[in-house]
């Protein structure tokens, strides 16, 4: 009888371990969600067309982001600082890294190569996805815009990114629910069984 009880409890513990699901938190999927959370600070690249846009735009959500600098919730960082910030502030969850899609993809791929796990995620909402820019009134703009658009629409641009780093798509849209397969161990089981069967 004791053997049956021990085997039954052991099987139930293993079954529960196989059915355990861990939920991976992804709290931010839009700019609005980041703006509405007063506990998070945004990190943006400094001295870029995006940084100039955020400081000069007069209305809308990007104006709200620009205003966060006065509150201390927006920091301008260099590329070298981004790597350090990702491994400290962003990993802790106190800061959010804001960059163009390909910049984030390469950063996440590099982290996966170093750690072997997907520690970060990209938001579902895209904003300012590519920033190929030049002087607005240049006669080259229409010709270059047409070529850049066709390269991007054909998928060639992202193919180049993928060929540059083979891990660039490993962490793209990973599942937020993961089945955890570990054995549950309760040290008091044998003692409890003995008490119940009057050993």
Asked whether the predicted pLDDT for residue 195 surpasses 60, the reply is no
Shortest CA distance to 126 belongs to which of 91, 146, 110, 102?
A: 102
Asked whether the predicted pLDDT for residue 194 surpasses 50, the reply is no
Q: How confident is the model at residue 72 (pLDDT cuts 50, 70, 90)?
A: very high
Non-local (6+) Cβ contacts of 90 within 8 A are 43, 96, 97, 120
More confidently predicted of 155 and 165: 155
Q: In angstroms, rounded to a whole number, what is the distance separating the alpha carbons of residues 128 and 48?
A: 12
Choice among 21-25, 60-64, 99-103, 178-182 with the minimum mean pLDDT: 178-182
Average pLDDT, the chain: 76
| pLDDT average, residue stretch 5-27 | 63
pTM, 2 dp: 0.64
- Determine what percent of the chain falls in helix, strand and coil, rounding each to the nearest 5: 50, 10, 40
Which residue bears the tokens 């809308």? 60
Delimit the domains of the chain by residue range: 1-20+182-199, 24-179
């Amino acid at each position: 009888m004791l053997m049956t009880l021990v085997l039954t409890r052991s099987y139930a513990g293993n079954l529960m371990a196989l059915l355990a699901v861990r939920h991976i938190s992804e709290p931010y999927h839009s700019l609005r969600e980041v703006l509405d959370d007063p506990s998070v600070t945004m990190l943006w690249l400094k001295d870029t067309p995006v940084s100039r846009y955020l400081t000069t735009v007069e209305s809308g959500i990007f104006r709200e982001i620009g205003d966060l600098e006065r509150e201390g919730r927006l920091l301008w960082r260099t590329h070298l600082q981004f790597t350090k910030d990702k491994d400290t502030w962003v990993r802790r969850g106190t800061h959010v890294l804001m960059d163009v899609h390909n910049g984030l993809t390469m950063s996440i791929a590099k982290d996966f190569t170093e750690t072997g796990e997907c520690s970060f995620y990209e938001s579902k909402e895209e904003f300012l996805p590519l920033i190929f820019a030049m002087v607005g009134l240049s006669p080259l703009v229409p010709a270059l815009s047409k070529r850049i658009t066709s390269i991007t629409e054909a998928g060639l641009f992202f193919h180049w990114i993928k060929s540059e780093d083979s891990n660039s798509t490993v962490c793209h849209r990973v599942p937020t629910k993961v089945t955890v397969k570990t054995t549950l161990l309760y040290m008091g089981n044998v003692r409890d069984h003995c008490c119940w069967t009057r050993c």
